[in-house]
Amino acid sequence: MPTKKTQTRTERDALGSVKVPKDAYYGSFTARALENFNISKIKAFPSFRIALANIKIAAAQSNAELGELQKGHAKAIIQAANEFIEGKYYDEFPIDIFQAGAGTPFNMNLNEILANRANEILGGKKGEYKPITPNNHVNWGQSSNDTIPTAIRLAALMEAQKLLPEIDKLSKAFFKKAKQFKNILKIGRTHLQDAVPITLGQEFEAWGSTIKRTHDHIKQSFGHLQEVAIGGTALGTGITAHPKYRTLMVKNLTKLTKIRLRPTKYPMELSSNMSAFAIASASLSTLGSDLVRISKDLRILASGPAGGINEINLPEVEPGSSIMPGKVNPSIAECITMIGLQVNGNHHTVAAAVHESELELNTMTPVIMLNLLWSIHILQSGCAMFRDLCIKGITANTDHIEQLLDKSLCLATGLSPYIGYKATAELVNEALKKGTSLMKTVESKDFMTKKELSSILSAKKLTKPHATDQNLKKRIQNNPNYQKFMKKIG
């Protein structure tokens, strides 16, 4: 069946006439952008929309205070912007994330929405732009070159307020497990080979510390985003803005968002230098890499159950196979790995976009926004998922851990201070050749009593720094059986 033809209105701009849907709050600039940039179907993040609308509110407040904008006009713009923040006109903000450089379409899209809605509030009609225009009123004292980077900074800081608590909770979940597993002695591995004894608690404690360290790194790196160039307008010179506008703008924006901002001393620099975004993104990438590494370790330790290490059990969240009955996969750990890899890729894009500045401007801000905010969003959700559906429910296979430890030769390092490296290596090789445990091999040599051997190889001594018992060492090395063994091996 034929569809009803959309009714339109005609608007005119510097390029001529353009058709705009009759009921649309956006205008000619947005209509052209929608025709030009139909690329990905990916739209702006909600936090970016909210941040940009808050900039428009703060600008209206500041310009009204400075006498640059009629108070009635400012009030109408502010009401329209608050309605936008509430979500009333999100469908009117449809431009693809891949668009003209510097985010000018984003800025003008919102200018048009707020102008048309403000005029409605004042009794006017959409598309007439009387008495309020997108450029001369909503955008007064602004440029896309300062509003868009500032909006990205604000959006990232807003999102970080939700991300950082999730990272902190994840770290605490690891530390809680570390306390639960503190007395479980197990094999520590290097190069994927048996190395020295550790406790399962120490393993989880290390992961908790890693996440805590990265939490602090992210918090510190995001502090650079609090420095803003808003009020610098086109290239940081402040052209068209009131001399007091920049300071007042930052004050009003801070009060409005409850995010402490500070005006940069060098606004021209921040038109082209976007390194603060690369620094913030790098800290997120570090977290992504940490999560990939930890999730890989968990999958290795949970591998099996019959053909792998099988030291821990990960919570079962779904069937693992469409063809193999009863198989259960480490699904949550696999998901968090994918998230970490995506964040690493996002950072590569952010870093590349930051390099793309030319002269006084970086025009790649839309793609910086997409990848930075996307990383924050998926890390926030991912950390919560990882904590609740994986870490909290991990259990230890204590009997199997003990069996693996008994069969392992990782206890050997604890013997070296008492019988020497060469003798220890000889005993390890003998145990391997005969297929017996190290404990039994050492006992067979009668260097020391079983009680003395147990003391040397106790978990308390093997998993923490401790002084060598010099008296025990002397007794062992004076033992005729030890001396005979050393003479035999040369």
Catalytic positions are: 321
- Cα dihedral sign for 294, 300, 305, 310? negative
DSSP 444-483: TTTSS-HHHHHHHT-HHHHTS-----HHHHHHHHT-HHHH
Pairing mode, if any, of strands 262-263 and 227-228? parallel
Q: Which of 53, 43, 124 is nearest to 86 (CA)?
A: 53
Rounded to an integer, what distance in angstroms lies between the CA atom of residue 259 and that of residue 147? 16
H or E element that contains 105: helix 104-121
Distances (CA, A) of 416 to 142, 160, 286: 71, 49, 38
Consecutive H or E run containing 228: strand 227-228
Of 360, 355, 364, residue with least CA distance to 272: 360
Structure tokens at 43: 């739209």
Residues paired with 322 in a beta bridge: none
Instruction: Kindly write down the DSSP assignment for every residue of 271-339, as one continuous string.
Output: HH--HHHHHHHHHHHHHHHHHHHHHHHHHHHT--SSSS---EEPPP-S---SSSTT----HHHHHHHHH
Q: Which residues pair with 53 in a beta bridge?
A: none
